[in-house]
A and B are shown apart, each in its own frame.
Chain A
Amino acid sequence: MPIQYYIGLAATLFCIGITGVLIRRNAIIIFMCIELMLNAVNLLLVAFSKMHYATAFIRNANTTAGSDAQLFVFFIMVVAAAEVSVGLAIIVMMYRNTHSVDVNYLNRLKN
């Protein structure tokens, strides 16, 4: 499959994520949108990785080109998992305090 499709899909997912972050007020939805963006990037990294591998393979059958991108993907997944745990904890605490997961309440931290 041509790389453009992957890029298109990843860009679409990323834009959906951004839009969600911008327009939704529910913290959990925003969180999910952030995950969506991260995974769009992951998808792109994997796609480029495969693309580089494919072009390098023609010249050298033993190539390892593109494997570093796949490593990055794992890193991102690990970081995302850590982020999810911290973020969900924040959201739980937020709900306990405000009985709401609306992020617009967070601007009242000063009180």
Chain B
Amino acid sequence: MPPDGAPAPDDGALPVASLTEVAGRPFGAYVHVPYCAARCGYCDFNTYTAADLGGALISSVGLTTFVDIAVQEIRLARGLLPTDTPALSTVFVGGGTPTLLPANDLARVLRTLAAEFGLAPDVEVTTEANPESVDPAQLEQLRAAGFTRISFGMQSDRPHVLAALDRRHTPGRVSEVMRWARKAGFDQVSLDLIYGAPGESEADWEASLRAAVALGPDHVSAYALTVEEGTKLSRRVRRGELLEPDDDLLADRYLLADDLLGAAGLTNYEISNWAREPAARCRHNLGYWHGDNWWGFGPGAHSHVGGVRWWNVRHPAEYAARLGADRSPALAREELDEDTRRVERVMLRVRLADGLDVGELDDAGRAASGELVDSGLVEAGGLEHGRIRLTRRGRLLTDTVVRALLPT
């Protein structure tokens, strides 16, 4: 469900104060492709199958016209942002399943972004991809079109775990698509893993981790399975068919992941993310945690520009209708005051291995940080240098840490 917010103006115009902040910071683009061949039982992302959209993805709100409409939003954004908006330093295409779109379409989105905003020389351009929906030619085309990074939804190496997650690829498929990606020239390949699925044992998880590192990824994201409201998974948990993943067990799985990924040379740089080297970190996601500016294109996408957050209407049909009528697709937005922005900075930056500058804390928060060191959640060494850095235990108890650092 989208959060509550104030209504966004019909033309999408942003407050002047927020626009003045655009020039000074990295600028990114997120493109949300809201289609999947089938919905996975755990997923609550804003995505639609052919059945959801009335029988065919090839309708006026479906796959074939998606890029036409997204291009309209890109042009709208160009008109609303100031002329001194920096060239894009990151582009991230997520979903949904972006690779359900033909490579041409994804290439056209990138071309449009480049034409309207320009791309920084070192631009990072990522697309998510499901192993079952890519082929070698498509990967070649994407690379040729300027995509620099690909993130595969591997999730697990165990067939019964993939089945529990409703994932349709076979374990061996990931190593195949990874080979294709390398061959196509992708220097940056990331693998997504999920732990804590129903029926996944400790040994299953270890096997998945070992299989993942054996493929030599540059980057790994590992997420605990979260039971989200409104998903098939949550209904099954409520009916008692499945047990909700136990937090203690998830903690063990997390530590195992950190051990094995670390041993394979992947260093944790954000709670759920590990990279082979600093340059392999996902700069686009770092932008979220640094409070940078980005425009989220597509149905349900979230954006942030200079302290204004907004989110688009969720349904592709409504999204298309708004843009078709020359209206902004923004459903609602919030203009953050200075204190709320500080709260967000604390909440987001503390997740990063580089840590949070204690200057962001008020007196009570600073006092609490000492106690957090005593209770082993924050590194003593970091605090001596004016930074709040989480220990491994602290990473697992980030909510506790954030509440303690923001006592008022």
Real complex partners, A and B? no
Chain B contacts to A: CB under 8 angstroms: none
